[in-house]
A = this chain, B = another copy of it.
Amino acid sequence: MSDPPPDAKTVTAAVLVIGNEVLSGRTKDANLAYLAGELNALGIRLMEARVIADIEAAIVEALNELRARYDYVFTTGGIGPTHDDITAESVAKAFGVRLLRHPEAVAILERRLAGRAPLNEARLRMANVPEGGELIKNPVSGAPGFRIGNVFVMAGVPSVMQAMFQGLKGALVGGAPMRARTLVTDLPEGQIADPLGALQKAHPETEIGSYPGYSPTGFRVSLVIRSTDAGAIRRAGDELAAMLAGLGGHVLEDRAE
């Protein structure tokens, strides 16, 4: 991906995790964290993520809300051969198009199974794609995902989803990439909050976040300055470092991301 111009518009995305198993606590979702990191690196701003159940009405509603609101939507889960895999049908309903058997997907499944197992009706369901959809390759286990409009439909198994995403990401157009600088301090949030708020006001072209947490060496606060403008990050970060020093605190880490 070539660097976009500095005034490029913000490109936004949402992730839709489809699967009862995450909501029941059976499975810890790993796909959101992966996609958040990847999209951020591509200059695509993940604005929202939802986890919903395998219920057609819920999928249709969430998908239609998200695809209207954001530049890209990435779904994970529900594209296997079993009765609880209803993502393809639901996406077709959301777009108001027919669900068709995609000849290239059938050919992929045939090659994959050749001689080992029959291409039965259940497996053929994995070749069903909403009309107008283009396949997303699955180098891990064969059965493809698909793209329709601004929606990318991927598998739920993390290794498969990741391989699909690596294959499709070249087609995504990112905006200016978000850069970050993180300063970690031993000062409590309550002590830095007022001057930090003033710093945020003085640097509106940055977003300054404050994230408290426990580390093995004690309570720490990570202050993260994010912007598409590297110079703005540098200026705000230098002022922040001076502010922390002025309050008698230490900057335990200062790293660019």
- Given the known A-B contacts A159-B214, A212-B157, are A123 and B193 also in contact in the complex, defined by CB atoms under 8 Å? yes
- A27 located at the interface, meaning its Cβ lies under 8 Å from any Cβ of chain B in the complex: yes
Residue of B with least CB distance to A211: B21
Contact A25 B36 (CB under 8 A): yes
What are the interface flags for A59-85 relative to B under an 8 Å C-beta threshold, 1 for contact and 0 otherwise? Answer: 000000000000000000000111111
Verify A84–B25 contact, CB threshold 8 A: no
Interface centre among A80, A121, A126 (most CB of B within 10 A): A80
User: A108 within 8 Å of B by Cβ?
Assistant: no
Complex contact A33–B29 (CB within 8 A): yes
A7 at the interface (CB under 8 A from B): no
Residues on A facing B (Cβ under 8 Å): 20-29, 32-33, 36-40, 45-54, 58, 80-85, 113, 117, 120-123, 125-126, 157, 159, 178, 180, 188-194, 196-197, 200, 207-214, 224, 226
Partner of A23, one of B47, B58, B197: B47
Distance from A18 Cβ to chain B, minimum over Cβ atoms (Å): 11
- Residues in B with CB closer than 8 Å to A197 are 82-83, 122
Q: Bound state CA distance, A58 and B207, in angstroms?
A: 17
For residue A123, give the distance in angstroms from its CB to the closest CB of chain B.
Answer: 4
Whether B157 lies near A210 (C-beta < 8 A) is no
Question: Could you list some 24 contacts between A and B, CB below 8 A?
Answer: A21-B209, A23-B47, A25-B33, A25-B39, A26-B180, A32-B51, A47-B53, A48-B53, A49-B50, A50-B51, A80-B189, A81-B189, A81-B190, A82-B189, A82-B192, A82-B197, A83-B200, A83-B210, A84-B208, A117-B190, A120-B194, A121-B194, A122-B190, A159-B214
Instruction: Return chain B residues, CB-CB under 8 Å to A213.
Output: 157
The one of B46, B85, B159, B196 that contacts A24, using a Cβ cutoff of 8 Å = B46
Residue from B26, B80, B194, B211 in contact with A210 in the complex, judged by beta carbons closer than 8 Å: B80
Distance between Cα atoms of A21 and B214 in the complex (Å): 16
- CB of A54 to closest CB in B, whole Å: 8
Which residues does chain B contribute within 8 Å of A214, judged by CB atoms? 157, 159
Q: How far is the CA of A226 from the CA of B20 in the complex (A)?
A: 11
Contact status B46-A224, CB under 8 Å = no
Extra contacts, 8 of them, besides A48-B52, A82-B196 (Cβ < 8 A), are: A23-B47, A23-B49, A25-B33, A26-B180, A48-B58, A81-B193, A122-B194, A159-B214
